[in-house]
Structure 1
Amino acid sequence: MPQGLKDVVEEWTCLDEEYQELKETHRMYLQKLDEISKLQNNCSSSISSHRRRLKEVSSLVKRCSKGASEEDAKTLDEINEKIKMRPNTFCEMESFLPKKNGLYLSLVLGNVNVTLFSKQSKFAYKDEYEKFKLYLTVILLLFSFVCYVFMSYRFLDAMLNFLLVWYYCTLTIRESILTTNGSRIKGWWVCHHYISAFLSGVMLTWPDGNLYKIFRNQFLAYSLYQSFVQCLQCYYQSGCLYRLRALGERHNMDLTVEGFQSWMWKGLTFLLPFLFFGHFWQLFNSLSLFRMAQLPDCREWQVMMCGLCFLILFMGNFFTTVAVVRHKVNSRNQKPKSL
């Protein structure tokens, strides 16, 4: 047998052996996947069953606590405390189990499973979200600056508004996926991006006319300032979150937000003047648009709609920030009294 043919046969024999090993490895992989799927279903059904039984036990504890002796009441209180701790444990378990998508994700993605099954993949997705948010905010800052200072073309304004629509819509999808995987972004900050996406869409459809030209520079200046403040927030909040996670005071899946939360109090209070100035700028935009809507030559529905969106954003941002600051100040004032 020629030397070249002999080398080919040996190489093929070696490759065939590796192929057989690959087939066996893939067979084991499929087997483990099937086992994992069964375990996931068992865990989900067990958690649901346990939740039902906890409700039954909780109602029994309430009934037995009436007229119980002091020793029995102590035992019942201990059981009740343990019952209250179980839901948090179940939530932690369910963050690693497949779950049905919410209404928004079902409409956008269908029934695709978006649960990430390892802490590394969850944190990697959260880290990618934070980077996406920071990079796009920088791009929006530069784009707004160019449109405001150098170029006054409706086409570029439309591109900026389209980028804003895409950015906020992408944020809502990513945040919904992160919430499914254990992130705890709640309340107003969930709604904020939906309203901002809608506002950007309305601005995109506003036809080029006299009223648009009147409001254009004011909106671009606001967009420039907003992007600047969001860059500050992303930079300082990410550092603060990293420090708090290292100390064990924050959850690993907590996110940066466009507003102010209680955990930002230590070290990030310097952001409050910037935030409040931005909130009142939203109110100023709203009042300006409402005055424009009263003009006789106003025919565009976008004027009133944008004014309403800016008013909702101002009210939500302002009152949420005030509530957080008030709660934090009250809790700090109560600590010395309790000591």
Structure 2
Amino acid sequence: MANGLTNILEDWKSLEEEYHQLQETHRVYLQKLDEISKLQKNCSSSIANQRKTLKDVSRLVEKCSTGPSADDVKALEEIKEKIKTRPNAFAEMEAFLPKKNGLYLSLVLGNVNVTLLSKQAKFAYKDEYEKFKLYLTVLLLLFSFMCYFFVDYRFLDALLNFLLVWYYCTLTIRESILITNGSRIKGWWVFHHYISAVLSGVMLTWPDGNLYKIFRNQFLAYSLYQSFVQCLQCYYQSGCLYRLRALGERHNMDLTVEGFQSWMWKGLTFLLPFLFFGHFWQLFNSLSLFKMAQLPDCKEWQVPMCGLCFLILFMGNFFTTVAVVRQKMKSRSQKTKSL
């Protein structure tokens, strides 16, 4: 037998053995997947039953009148404390179980399961989200700088606004996936991106005319400032979150946001003047647009619509930031009194 054919037969024999081993490994893999699916359904069902029973027990505890025994009082208090901790424990469990998508994700992605089933995968997706925000913010900063100082073409303005629409729409999808996987970003800072996407879309459709040219530099200067502040926030909030996670004071899936939250208080209060200045700039943009909408030659619907979006952004950002600052100052004063 030729030497070359012998080598081929030996290689093929080795390849066949590896292939049979691969088939067995894949069979075990599919079996484990089926087992995991059954375990997921059992866990989800058990959590639902636990929640239902916990509500019934909570009602009984509230109605229960303890006797004179100190042991009865102590036992009841222990049950109450454990009842308070159960919802958080259920939420931690559900973070690693498949769940039904919310309305927004269902409209965008359908019924695709977006739950990441390991801590490593969750952290990797969260870190990629933070990098995406930082890289796009730097890109928007440079793009706004170029359009404001060097280039005055409507086509490039449209590209900037299209990039803003894509950026905010992508953020809303990524944040929805992160919330599904246990991230605790909520409230106004989620809705903020929906309004920003609408605003950028309206700016994209605004036809090139006299009123657009009047507002163009004001909008570009605002975009430049916002991108600069967001870069500052990404840098300092990331450092703050890293320290708090290391100390065990923050959840590992918490994110940086375009605003001010209570955990940012230490070392990040210097951001407050920048944030408030940006909020009032949004109010200034809104008032300028509403004033332009009253001009006789104003025919574009984009003018009052952009004014309304800027007004909503100002009100949401300003009152949310003030509420967080008041809450933090109140909690600090209470701690001082207790000491």
Using structure 1 for the length normalisation, give the TM-score: 0.98
Alignment of 1:265-276 (within 5 A): 265-276=265-276
Residue identity matched to 1:48: A
CA distance in 1, matches of 2:62, 2:239: 46
Matching residue of 2:307: 307
* Residues 1:249 and 2:249 aligned together: yes
User: Superposed, which structure 2 residues align to 1:200-219 within 5 Å?
Assistant: 200-219=200-219
Distance 1:301 1:338 in 2: 56
Following superposition, the deviation at residue 64 of structure 1 comes to 2.1
* 1:123-138 correspondence to structure 2 within 5 Å: 123-138=123-138
| Mapped partners of 2:173, 2:194: distance in 1 | 10
Q: Which amino acid aligns with 1:6?
A: T
Task: State the shift of 1:70 in Å.
Answer: 4.4
In 1, the alpha carbon distance for the partners of 2:272 and 2:78 equals 43
Distance in 2 (CA, whole Å) between partners of 1:152 and 1:68 is 80
The sequence identity of aligned pairs, in percent, is 83
Q: Which residue of 2 is the match for residue 146 of structure 1?
A: 146
Q: Which amino acid aligns with 2:304?
A: M
User: What CA distance in whole angstroms lies between the structure 1 residues aligned with 2:108 and 2:308?
Assistant: 26
Kindly state the Cα deviation for residue 60 of structure 1 after the two structures are TM-superposed.
1.8
Cα distance in 2 between the residues matched to 1:336 and 1:62: 33
Please give the TM-score of this superposition, normalised by the length of structure 2.
Answer: 0.98
Could you tell me which residue of structure 2 aligns to residue 112 of structure 1?
112
Q: Tell me what 1:69 maps to.
A: 68
Q: 1:89 corresponds to which residue?
A: 89
Q: Deviations for 1:54-100, whole angstroms, at most 9, x for unmatched residues?
A: 111112222222x6334323322211211121111000000000000
- Larger mean Cα displacement after TM superposition, 289-298 or 67-76: 67-76
Taking the aligned partners of 1:109 and 1:37, their CA distance within structure 2 comes to 21
Cα separation, 2, equivalents of 1:87 and 1:329: 28
Amino acid at match of 1:104: Y
**Residue deviations 1:151-187, cap 9 Å, x none?**
1111000000000000000000000000000101011
Alpha carbon RMSD of aligned pairs, Å? 0.9
Using the TM superposition, give the Cα deviation of residue 123 of structure 1 relative to its aligned residue in structure 2, in angstroms: 0.2
Partner of 2:104, secondary structure, is helix
Amino acid across the alignment from 2:61 = V
Alignment of 1:284-295 (within 5 A): 284-295=284-295
**Which letter maps to 2:32?**
K
Separation of aligned partners in 1, 2:200 and 2:69 = 62
Matched with 1:279 is 279
Structure 2 spans left out of the alignment, 5+ residues: none
Gaps of 5+ in 1: none
Tell me what 1:41 maps to.
41
Give the letter for the 1:21 counterpart: Q
Q: Secondary structure of 2:186's match?
A: coil
Partner of 2:163: 163
